[in-house]
Amino acid sequence: MAYMTGLTRAGQPWTPQFITKLNHHQCIGCGRCFKVCSRDVFSLVKRDELEDSLDDEELDDEDFDDDVLYVMTISNVDDCIGCGSCAKVCPKNCQEHAPLDLAA
């Protein structure tokens, strides 16, 4: 597979890890990923509004924690630069990241 790569300042290749998913059931709405992302990829939304917008498969028979009023969503996935900062600050490991397969 051929993945999208970039270069460090020293000219060394590195492979960006782009966000692909965010698990709303694990999210506690702490906002850390929102604050650390320099690309405005995330939006904080009311949990009950998100539930209304999900289909049955996405709800996956799991109930949200009633104490969680807000959850994070991915609103601008194409603006992600694959820096991985959101994964480092998330206390619940909500996000999944992957390199971009240029052949896909």
Positions touching ligand SF4 (CB under 6 A) are 19, 22, 27-33, 36-37, 39, 41, 72, 80-86, 89-92, 94-95
Residues in the chain: 104
Choice between 59 and 99, CB closer to ligand SF4: 99
Choice between 2 and 20, CB closer to ligand SF4: 20
Q: Compute the least distance from the CB of residue 23 to ligand SF4, in Å.
A: 8
Alpha-carbon distances of 75 from 2, 14, 95, rounded to whole Å: 27, 25, 14
Choice between 77 and 102, CB closer to ligand SF4: 77
Handedness of CA 50, 52, 58, 60 (dihedral sign): positive
Q: Compute the least distance from the CB of residue 60 to ligand SF4, in Å.
A: 17
Q: Compute the least distance from the CB of residue 55 to ligand SF4, in Å.
A: 21
CA distance 72 to 18: 17
Q: Compute the least distance from the CB of residue 33 to ligand SF4, in Å.
A: 3
Three-point CA angle 76, 64, 86, nearest 5°: 35
CA distance 104 to 88: 27
